[in-house]
Amino acid sequence: MSVQHEAPIEGAGEALEVWIDQDLCTGDGICVQYAPEVFELDIDGLAYVKSDDDELLQNPGAVTPVPLPLLNDVVDSAKECPGDCIHVRRVSDRVEVYGPDAG
């Protein structure tokens, strides 16, 4: 699944990381459809991020790097997330670039 972007992807030249606020996750699995390399539904029915070596990070709010080739998919996930609970931020200053707290 992909969404057309009218503007260049913000943050494409910088290291980004992503985390999920599980308190707001509806468990619909949209993020897993967009980016199964980064997101996975755990047995509690909520989405969690995976480490760069494909390990599910089961701590609520765990943070993982966004692989550059998957940036579009992760950004689309954040935009489409019904819970508004996917947060994409710069590694350097932790400023959110996509998600409910993005400026």
SS3 40: strand
- Nearest distance from residue 62's CB to ligand SF4, in Å? 13
User: Is the CB of 10 or the CB of 80 nearer to ligand SF4?
Assistant: 80
Q: Two tokens at 38?
A: 């980064």
Cα–Cα distance measured from residue 6 to residue 44, given in angstroms and rounded to the nearest whole number: 36
- Contacts with ligand SF4 in 24-63 (CB under 6 A)? 25-31, 47
Which residues partner with 39 through β-bridges?
Answer: 49
Instruction: Say how many residues make up the chain.
Output: 103
User: Is the CB of 60 or the CB of 67 nearer to ligand SF4?
Assistant: 60
- Nearest distance from residue 39's CB to ligand SF4, in Å? 6
User: Is the CB of 11 or the CB of 86 nearer to ligand SF4?
Assistant: 86
Cα–Cα distance measured from residue 35 to residue 41, given in angstroms and rounded to the nearest whole number: 12
Provide the binding-site residues for ligand SF4, judged by CB under 6 A.
20, 25-31, 47, 77, 81-83, 85-86
